[in-house]
Amino acid sequence: MSVEISNPPALHDPVPFGYSHVAVTSGELVFVAGQYDSDAHGTTTTDDFAGQVARAFDNLGIALRSVGLDFADIAQLRTHIVDHDAAKLTVVGTKIAEIWGGRPPVQTLIGVAALALPTMLFEVDAVAIRP
């Protein structure tokens, strides 16, 4: 494995919050730009937050597979949420648990006033490791 995830016992358990504390990597860094609910033309497809989160992670998976990687190769996520609140955190946390289970990558969640397009509610970028 090229990404070793750990959560020091002296720190709180971050997994219920959808992230881990530390990722140690070996191999080649692969940076994936912010992915969002975009169709083939770059247009958002829904104004539903959960739908945008699902499509953004689908697009992240497509980007990873295009270079021979998958979600397990991700060391770090950065998520960007417009008008962040607890309900939106639950949606994102549920999606992260669906993909990574009890071994989520390190993550920084950033609440923002707006993203690149006025219809975007969520965006995720990643750093992955090619062994």
CA distance 12 to 62: 33
Per-residue pLDDT of the chain (131 residues; tens, 9 = 90+): 578 888 889 898 999 988 889 888 888 999 999 999 999 889 999 999 999 999 999 999 999 999 999 999 999 999 999 999 999 999 999 999 999 999 999 999 999 999 999 999 999 999 999 88
Q: Give pLDDT, residue 49.
A: 98
What CATH number is associated with residue 95?
Answer: 3.30.1330.40
122-130 and 74-82: which strand pairing? antiparallel
Q: Give pLDDT, residue 86.
A: 96
Q: Give pLDDT, residue 72.
A: 94
Residue closest to 23 by CA, chosen among 81, 104, 96: 104
> For residue 100, how many C-alpha atoms fall within 13 Å in the half-sphere facing its CB?
29
Count of structural domains within the chain: 1
Structural domain of residue 115, as residue ranges?
3-130
